[in-house]
Structure 1
Amino acid sequence: MLSRLFSDYENYADPDISKFLQTNLGFIDNVGLDDITATSVNYKQNALTYVYSNAVRATTTEIGCTLKKCDIGGFKMFIAYCLTNQP
């Protein structure tokens, strides 16, 4: 599965992929997902769990990511592309 994750880095001296993933995937430790049934977990627009919901599945055991810095309309941004071992 391919996930495309965006963030700005105006407030970061040097964005780092491991810090980005640790911070954004780490929100799931403190913020629960809202719509969980016996057969599915659905993302319900909670900004803190957006990255986790787009990048991880229950059976995901491997993830690899790359980071690209860019300027978009005058805003300093970075984009992370992540691949997992899930379809």
Structure 2
Amino acid sequence: MGKGLASSEQPPKRIYFLDIYQLNYRPSSGCEFFETYDVGGSYVAYCKVTENYIVRSKVVKCEKSYATCPYRKLGLSVMRQKGKESS
């Protein structure tokens, strides 16, 4: 899904300790590995590279500084490598 759009799907895995991830607004990021999910009227952010939810105190970094994120750089590198292998 990416680009911070809320997904109509169920979150990819069970959320433990929802309070540390729960946001009262829908976050958005230019990162192609960033997803949001609606959970009972609030939102959680998810990183597809780490395959983990993002704690709410760190979501602002994904919103503002995604271009320098080491996880995003790793994800882009893996995508390029997969592209070379399929060529």
TM-score by length of 1: 0.27
Larger RCO: 1 or 2 (CA < 8 Å, sep 6+): 1
Task: Please state which structure has a larger fraction of its residues in helix.
Answer: 2
Task: Please state which structure has a larger fraction of its residues in strand.
Answer: 1
